[in-house]
């Protein structure tokens, strides 16, 4: 069975755009994963820990036969491969890949929560997600209302169209 999954990607260390491109390439090369849609890239002021460079953020949707926990492990391996270091909560990172949605699954494990528990408070997640998500609501939450509530305050700006060559 193929699952429809939405991911959020972010980078604010080094060549941010290149890290996003490398992450998308690595995700698309995973076995049992098919890249479906890719959003544009957005630049965003840091969230949580403000003494760091602005982030580039985007969203991708994939189809996969992997279950949520196996996919999480694969995405964490990609983060490690791309030199992600977790030193400060919400701090600088070469790449951050979060599972936002996995079909209409609700999961509340210690190491994995779906839908992502903070996504409705993060315009930098919702703006690119809205580009590739077909629908106005997620689990009864209106996407546009949440974007309007947080976008200006969080400084989400269109950066550029994402160019991907597999």
Residue 157 a catalytic site member: no
Which of 16, 84, 122, 151 is labelled catalytic?
84
Residue 103 a catalytic site member: no
CA-wise closest residue to 24 among 11, 9, 13, 42: 9
Alpha-carbon distance of 156 to 58, in angstroms, equals 11
Which of 15, 16, 40, 93 is labelled catalytic?
93
Which of 15, 67, 98, 136 is labelled catalytic?
98
Q: Indicate the length of the chain as a whole number.
A: 166
Which of 15, 16, 67, 96 is labelled catalytic?
96
Burial state string for 136-148 with b = 16 or more CB within 10 A and e = fewer than 16:
eebeeeebeebbe
Alpha-carbon distance of 39 to 100, in angstroms, equals 14
Alpha-carbon distance of 163 to 166, in angstroms, equals 10
Alpha-carbon distance of 111 to 70, in angstroms, equals 12
Residue 98 a catalytic site member: yes
Residue 122 a catalytic site member: no
Residues annotated catalytic, as ranges = 84, 93, 96, 98
């Amino acid at each position: 069975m193929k699952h429809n999954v939405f991911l959020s990607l972010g980078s604010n260390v080094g060549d941010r755009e290149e890290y996003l491109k490398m992450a998308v390439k690595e995700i698309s090369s995973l076995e049992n994963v098919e890249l479906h849609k890719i959003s544009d890239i957005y630049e965003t002021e840091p969230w949580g820990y403000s003494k760091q460079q602005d982030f580039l953020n985007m969203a991708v949707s994939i189809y996969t036969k992997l279950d949520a926990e196996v996919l999480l492990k694969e995405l964490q391996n990609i983060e490690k491969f791309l030199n992600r270091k977790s030193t400060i909560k919400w701090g600088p990172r070469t790449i951050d890949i979060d599972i936002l949605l996995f079909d209409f699954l609700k999961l509340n494990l210690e190491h994995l929560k779906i839908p992502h528990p903070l996504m409705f408070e993060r315009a930098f997640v919702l703006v690119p997600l809205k580009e590739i998500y077909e629908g106005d609501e997620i689990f009864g939450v209106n996407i546009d209302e949440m974007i309007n509530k947080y976008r200006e305050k969080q400084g989400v700006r269109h950066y550029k169209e994402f160019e991907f060559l597999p």
